[in-house]
Structures are given as C-alpha cells and as structure tokens.
Homo-oligomer: A and B are copies of this chain.
Amino acid sequence: MSSRYKDRIEKFAARLELSGFNAYICTNESNIFYFTGLPGPATLLIRQDGSATLYVSPMNYGLAEKEASQELEIVQLKMGVAPEALLAEILSQLGGMVGIDNLDIDTYRKISGLIGGIDLRPQSRLVWDMRMSKDSYEVEVIREACSISDRVMRAASDLLVPGIRESEVKAELTAEIYRRVGQEPAFTPIVAFGERSSFPHGPILRGTARDRVLKKGDVVIIDLGVKVEGYCSDITRTFYIGKEMDEKLQNAFESVINAKTLAQSIMRPGVSCSYVDDIARDSLSNKGMEPYFTHSLGHGLGIEIHEPPRIGPGSQDQFMENNVVTCEPGVYFIGEWGVRMEDTVLVTEESAIPLTSYPLDEYLVY
C-alpha cells in the first residue's frame, strides 16, 4: 500500500513535468510535512521522476526515521551545514529548470556563483495549487479540529460571568484544548473584553493593560482554533454580556451575520475571491457599517492557519474545489467595541459547507 505521502509526491512530480521543471526543492516546514509527514525543519528534493530525498539535521534524524514516509531516501546531514551550502550541493546534482518554494535574496546571491547552468526559480504557487485543494483525509481531520473548536467555544462562553478576567478565560480555554487534543492551540487565542474587542487582533498586553475584568454590558470577542494531526481549525464568536443592547450594537451583530451568510452562500469553485469580499462589503454598506470592516473577509487554512486563497480586496485568487477557508466579516468602532463572526468552510461544487457550527445567534450571555 502506498502512503498518502507517496501519492502526493507522485502527483506533484507529474505537475513538475507539465510545468517544465526537472526538480523542486522544499524548504518550508509545512511543505515538508505535507509531502513527508515529518513535522520539523528539513530540506526536500523532489525529482520529475517521482523520486525524492529528504535532508535532515542530526537533531531531527531520529524523528525523521520514525515519522517521515519510509518511501523516501533520508540523508543525515553533518552538524552546522549552512542552508546555502546544502542548497548548492543539491543543485550540483541537477540541471535545467529547478523550482524552489522560498528563496531570499541573500541566499540567492551566496549560491548564484555556484550553480552554473541551472535556472533556479522560486515558485511557491506550484505547491499551493495542490495544498489549496484538500484531499479527503485532510477534510476529515480539519472537520474533527472544527468540531473540537466548537466545543471549546462552548466551554469558553460558559465562563463569561462578570468578574472573570481575560487571562482566566484564555488559560481555561487553552487548558481545554490541551485536554481534548493533547497539544497547543492552532494560534494564540484572542479573548477581548469591552473596548479591547475594538482591535481586530485583540488588546495589546503591556504594563497595566495586561488584563481586564468582565463587566455587564461588555462585548466579548473570542477567536480560537485547534490542531488535529497537524491541521488547523478557526472560529470566532462575539458575545454580549446582557439582555438588551443599543441599536448601533444590535445593527452591528445583525449586519455582520447577514454579510457572513450572504458571502458564504456564493463561495464556489471558479468564483473570484475579491468578488465574494465585495459582496460582503456591499451587504455591510446597506446598514452604514462598511467603513468599519477594516480587514479581509477570509483566508485559506490547513497545515498553516493562514494559507492561500486570500479572500480580500484586490485578491487575484479564485475559489477551487475543496478549498478550506474562513469567512469572517467584522466591524470595529475603535475604543468602543468590535463584532466579528467567523466559521471555517469547505468549498464544494454544490455549496460552501460550514465545518465549525457554533450557533451564530446565541450571542446574548447573561
């Protein structure tokens, strides 16, 4: 039985051939994980014939022997080999056009004298075109991560009793994630009370502003994700601590939920990402809320919490089948409050299926 890693490498090798590349070098950790299963730094060479070699430091060699796909050649490097020296050595075995996922100018200048007849081309998109469209195993583990993050959101919202501190909510929801999946959150959770919710990424934690106690009448933003088998989920809910909110805040909740529902309903393969972002903005502008929507509508996710496609103004991306993306409109009145609602969504031919499913309308907590 050939592994999912071998399948991916073979598919990628076929793409290399179609694009005229003789070989491709991955240096990015999540590309390494995607093609080999090794969750750590390494360098991977994939040749057009589907063969591949993984170069690993002494520190990670034991891990690679245990965790990386055994259908690869695994080479242990010497201690302290500089990345540019390894790159030059790998390239010395190759010829023609060679792709690479990442290359900074410093490294390029160091090796450019050494690689004679090779046409080295940074082209991260070649891997992204595969990674953006999730296979059935990936959808399954992301679905599990999403389902767990729903339950963590429930546990977090249950803590929202006046008198609790932001830091206690963060500590408890993080502990809940460790209990449920044994490992850290997909990203540092955002828990922002009151005026601190008016910053999309939450408050700055400095000096006396490191923490805040919850009060009646506060808006609360909670943005969290978990990782299962190396794949992320991402969900945001906004809550209100009280029974009745003023008209402006009520308008914000309703407008954001409407914009989200509408934008999500038109995500389909072939649809332009910037168009869906436009639709969300148009929907918000009906209620005068558009100027306060100060970020992009969403992003892809998978092994990384931010992946292509980018769903925002000016994006050149289009949706593809089996994209997993967030849909997360939000409006922010600086110094007052912010409202954001976000789900992780699977894009299929027929519909965009929410993978996170905490009820959008249960935002009153009292």
Assess the A294–B63 pair: CB atoms within 8 A.
no
Contact digits for A71-110, partner B, Cβ 8 Å, 1 yes 0 no: 0000000011110000000000000000000111110100
Partner among B82, B184, B201, B210 whose Cβ is within 8 Å of the Cβ of A181: B210
Contact digits for A21-48, partner B, Cβ 8 Å, 1 yes 0 no: 0000000000000000001100000000
**Given known A229-B207, A332-B62, contact A167–B188 (CB-CB < 8 A):** no
A182 proximal to B (CB < 8 A): yes
Partner among B57, B182, B211, B332 whose Cβ is within 8 Å of the Cβ of A166: B182
| Sample of 12 more A-B contacts, CB < 8 Å, known A79-B314, A170-B183 | A58-B295, A59-B295, A66-B204, A79-B312, A80-B296, A81-B314, A82-B314, A167-B178, A171-B174, A175-B175, A182-B205, A206-B230
A contact residues, total (Cβ < 8 Å):
61
**Given known A104-B103, A204-B39, contact A175–B183 (CB-CB < 8 A):** no
A313 proximal to B (CB < 8 A): yes
A275 proximal to B (CB < 8 A): no
A168 proximal to B (CB < 8 A): yes
Compute how far the CA of A204 lies from the CA of B172 in the bound complex, rounded to whole angstroms. 24
Copy total for this chain: 2
Partner among B81, B122, B124, B172 whose Cβ is within 8 Å of the Cβ of A175: B172
Compute how far the CA of A57 lies from the CA of B82 in the bound complex, rounded to whole angstroms. 36
Compute how far the CA of A165 lies from the CA of B175 in the bound complex, rounded to whole angstroms. 13
Name which residue of chain B comes closest to A183, CB basis.
B205
A243 proximal to B (CB < 8 A): no
Residues of A within 8 A of B (CB): 39-40, 57-63, 66-67, 79-82, 102-106, 108, 122, 124, 165-168, 170-172, 174-175, 178-179, 181-184, 188, 198-201, 204-207, 210-211, 229-230, 294-296, 312-315, 332, 334-335
Q: Which residues of chain B are within 8 angstroms of A168 by Cβ–Cβ distance? A: 178-179
Assess the B204–A182 pair: CB atoms within 8 A.
no
When A and B form their complex, which 9 residue pairs have the shortest distance between CB atoms, in order from nearest? Answer: A80-B313, A171-B178, A182-B210, A80-B314, A62-B334, A171-B175, A58-B294, A59-B295, A167-B182
Name which residue of chain B comes closest to A67, CB basis.
B204
Name which residue of chain B comes closest to A170, CB basis.
B178
